[in-house]
Amino acid sequence: MNVADLIPRPESLQAPSLVIHNVHSHVFTVRHVPARFLPLRLVAVLRHKGFARFLDWALRLGSRFRVPDALGRIASFCSAAEHDSQEDVLRDMMGFYPRGTRFGLLAMDFDFMGAGKAEYDYLEQLKGLEDIARDYAGAAFPFVALDPRREGLAELAIDCVERRGFQGFKIYPPFGYFPFDEALDPLLAYAEERGLPVITHCSFGSPLTYWRGPITAAMRVHPKTGERLLGRRGREFASNWSAPANYRYVLERHPRLRLCLGHMGGAVEWRNFLYTSWPGKSVQEPPPAGAGTWLETVIELMREYEGVYADIAYTAYDPVLLPLLKVLLADERLASRILFGSDSYMLQMDAGEREFSIRLRGYLGEKLFRKIADENPRSWLGEAGTRD
């Protein structure tokens, strides 16, 4: 018997022939993040479950008064801190979904984000995900995180895919690199040739997961355009690395890459699209060059390249944005390549895992939800998407 079959599920919500795919989730624990990942030495403190439980309660109480996003993420991290292993986090997440749901587990290489050392480094995180891939075959498909600064990256990533049960690659530029970094190019070529799915972070202003080291003068020059990059230190500057326009350089070299732009630009940019005007000099003229939002850039890439997808993880938790999502799904060119993801467990502060998925499913209706949660993920996953 597969271990995943032992997890209880709300079977009353299981629709005939629908297999939900949550393509964007995480299962790393407090022991996998570096010492300065959280403020006030909280990483070390949260290893004590009693304090983690108290801090989680206190921050969730504060959520009634709209705590900032970063505090919400910390609260979600407190919940996860009660889990001893990545498998424990996965089992908890699985309990919110019908039996048969499949999860994309995105590894995170924290070793180079400039925030110190973790108790368990990235290689140990991969070992835990390898065990999950074996024990939860068919229910969980992990992705290898690629950081161009890691020595022996190509050998490690290919070994994970060919012998250790990983199904694709994860890129996280806010940790301090561009997605078109030359060190990533051989692996992106490998993924393109074999039809492997690649997922990347494409959201503005990550509240916790960004480069914590110094911003050097060299970093402030875009390597392709030569333009000076703006932004203060921290999360604001890190958005220069994750901007969707950077993927045009990737796609020019790898036009058949099966690439998912995670978060589809992010909730901040979706709201900017709704509430910001960029008028031209007259109603007949287009907006000035460079105007627009990350959402619009993502849409342009999806229309230009058949292999470009986007997931709505974390972004769609805001009910204000659901009508915009439904309008986007009315465009068939986009509707076939938008994917369901939750960003669990980082979602939990704003909307519980089950609440989020049911709210989205109830708003979109069964036909559209099936499209983004079952049909489209199978297409993006390729060979991995055909395994039940």
Tell me if 342 is assigned to some domain: yes
Tell me if 11 is assigned to some domain: no
CA separation for the pair 77, 82 (Å, rounded): 9
Calculate the average pLDDT of the chain. Answer: 86
Omega cis (within 30) before 136: no
CA separation for the pair 231, 101 (Å, rounded): 40
CA separation for the pair 7, 32 (Å, rounded): 25
Q: Which of 142-146, 225-229, 380-384 has the lowest mean pLDDT?
A: 380-384
Q: Please give the structure tokens belonging to residue 332.
A: 């068939």
Residue 372's contacts (CB-CB under 8 Å, 6 or more residues apart) are 312, 329, 338, 339, 340, 364
Write the CATH number for 250: 3.20.20.140
- Higher pLDDT: 369 or 63? It is 369
Predicted local confidence at residue 229, as pLDDT: 95
CB 266 within 8 A of CB 311: no
Pairing of strands 308-311, 168-171: unpaired
Predicted local confidence at residue 216, as pLDDT: 94
Any idea how long the chain is? 388
SS3 103: strand
CA separation for the pair 186, 271 (Å, rounded): 36
Return the biggest CA–CA distance within the chain: 67
The 10s digit of each residue's pLDDT in 115-128 is 999 999 999 999 99
The 10s digit of each residue's pLDDT in 296-344 is 999 999 999 999 999 999 999 889 999 999 999 999 999 999 999 999 8
DSSP 311-330: E-TTGGGSGGGHHHHHHHTT
The 10s digit of each residue's pLDDT in 236-279 is 899 999 999 999 999 999 999 999 999 999 999 999 999 988 66
- Higher pLDDT: 16 or 276? It is 276
Q: How many CB atoms lie within 10 A of CB 50?
A: 8
CA separation for the pair 111, 355 (Å, rounded): 33
CB 200 within 8 A of CB 244: no
Q: How many CB atoms lie within 10 A of CB 182?
A: 9
Tell me if 1 is assigned to some domain: no
pLDDT at residue 44 tops 70: no
Our count of domains for the chain comes to 1
Average pLDDT of the segment spanning 18-26: 96
Q: Please give the structure tokens belonging to residue 44.
A: 């070390």
- In which domain, by residue range, is 284 found? 19-380
Tell me if 200 is assigned to some domain: yes
The 10s digit of each residue's pLDDT in 134-172 is 999 999 999 999 999 999 999 999 999 999 999 999 999
Distance from the first to the final alpha carbon of the chain: 15
Predicted local confidence at residue 281, as pLDDT: 47
Residue 178 is which amino acid? F
CA separation for the pair 378, 11 (Å, rounded): 22
Tell me if 134 is assigned to some domain: yes
Tell me if 90 is assigned to some domain: yes
pLDDT at residue 70 tops 70: no
CB 337 within 8 A of CB 376: yes
CA separation for the pair 201, 174 (Å, rounded): 8
pLDDT at residue 69 tops 60: no
Predicted local confidence at residue 31, as pLDDT: 87
- pLDDT level of residue 7 (50, 70, 90 thresholds): low
pTM of the model: 0.88
Half-sphere exposure of 132 (CA within 13 A, CB side): 30
Residue 22's contacts (CB-CB under 8 Å, 6 or more residues apart) are 97, 101, 102, 103, 104, 340, 341, 342, 344, 357, 373
Tell me if 7 is assigned to some domain: no
CA distances to 26, 82, 121, 152, 346 from 89, rounded to whole Å, are: 8, 9, 18, 29, 12
pLDDT at residue 95 tops 60: yes
Tell me if 125 is assigned to some domain: yes
- pLDDT level of residue 1 (50, 70, 90 thresholds): very low
CB 8 within 8 A of CB 21: no
Q: Where is 159: in which H helix or E strand? A: helix 153-163
pLDDT at residue 68 tops 90: no
Predicted local confidence at residue 67, as pLDDT: 46
